[in-house]
Amino acid sequence: MIELRGKAVADCITEDASNKVRLLREKGINPKLAVIRVGARPDDVAYERGIIKRFDNAGVDYEVHELDGNCTQEELNSLFDRVNGDSNVHGILMFRPLPKHLSDEYMKRTIDPGKDIDGMGYVNQAALYSGKKNVFAPCTAQAVIEILHYYKIPTAGKRVTVVGRSLVIGRPVSLLLISEDATVTVCHTKTADLASELKRADIIVAAAGKAGMIKAGMTGEGQIIIDVGMDTNEEGKLCGDIDYENVAPKTEAITPVPGGVGTVTTSVLLRYTVESALRSANG
């Protein structure tokens, strides 16, 4: 069994991005990410810390715009307009979900698709749905693809079972995998016989968000498993959707949690920010 560690993938993406940044700087272009955060949800703050660390390491600029959790829709939209229209900003990440009194509808409609590096806006969602190449997909979904590519795991013609149909992971990763020529089965809470869908898969992408729900009896032998779960177990520790201890020994390869997909996400954000700057430089 091979452990598909995210660090090697993230390091490789980060190094490539750093090289591109040097070339861009020679042309006088400084790639920059803008982060918009409303309030201070612990999840958002933790993710932001990860982003800052990654961007600092790569020497790539960022700016964090923090709004009070009680801000008005007008305040948010007006900040968004300013960031969206700023030619020095190449990527925009707005933490969601927003507080309940706010809507992201305006941002989805108006975000510059070239800066929409988390695939939030309608144009990029439609592009992903349409199977367009080089779309900015939601970063965690793209992180799954990056891991498969880095470890040279072929997907074309393979049976991939995706567990979960969320807008953050299940749907985008399914569409990305269809575009990679995989034969994709999308499972969810209403799937009648999940074990039989899992057992026949060449690759399993687990994105259900339920700690250890996929047990040894439900999977096959010699499979590749990508665990996207970021769950909390009974002891309060971070774990994935896979019952790792019992499932991992049967697999050909599996991502650990922590240390797997989650490790790669911020490097995708970095890569996308640099790609956006490259595109604006070229065009």
Q: Name the minimum Å distance from CB 257 to a copy of itself.
A: 25
What angle do the packed helices 122-130 and 170-179 form, to 10 degrees? 40
- The token pair at 217 is 């009896």
**H or E, element range at 159:** strand 159-163
In the bound state with a copy of itself, the residue whose beta carbon lies nearer, of 161 and 263, is 161
6 vs 121, beta carbon nearer a copy of itself: 121
Cβ 184 to a copy of itself, closest distance in Å? 5
Decide whether 122 or 150 has the Cβ nearer to a copy of itself: 122
Sequence-distant (6+) residues with CB within 8 A of 224 are: 4, 148, 153, 202, 203, 204, 251, 252, 253, 254
CB of 122 to a copy of itself, least distance (A): 4
Q: Helices (H), strands (E): how many in the chain?
A: 10, 11
Per rule CB under 8 A, is residue 97 in the interface with a copy of itself? no
Among 181, 216, 217, 249, binds a copy of itself (CB under 8 A): 181
Q: Is residue 184 involved in binding a copy of itself (CB under 8 A)?
A: yes
> Is position 130 an interface residue for a copy of itself (rule: CB under 8 A)?
yes
Give yes or no for residue 191 binding a copy of itself (CB under 8 A): yes
Query: How many C-alpha atoms does 91 have within 13 Å on its Cβ side?
Result: 31
**If binding is defined by CB under 8 A, does position 90 make contact with a copy of itself?**
no
Shortest distance in whole angstroms from residue 178 CB to a copy of itself: 6
What's the helix, strand, coil split of the chain in %, to 5? 45, 15, 40
Q: Give dist(CA 4, CA 207) in Å, integer.
A: 17
Please report how close the Cβ of residue 107 comes to a copy of itself at its closest, in angstroms: 13
Interacting positions 99-118 with a copy of itself (CB under 8 A): 108-109
**What is the rounded CA–CA span in Å between residue 47 and residue 60?**
17
Q: How many CA atoms lie within 13 A of 271 on its CB side?
A: 23
**If binding is defined by CB under 8 A, does position 60 make contact with a copy of itself?**
no
Q: How many other C-beta atoms are found inside a 10 Å radius of the C-beta of residue 266?
A: 25
Residues found near a copy of itself in the complex (CB under 8 A): 108-109, 121-123, 125-126, 128-131, 156-159, 165, 167, 171, 174-175, 178, 181, 183-188, 190-192, 197
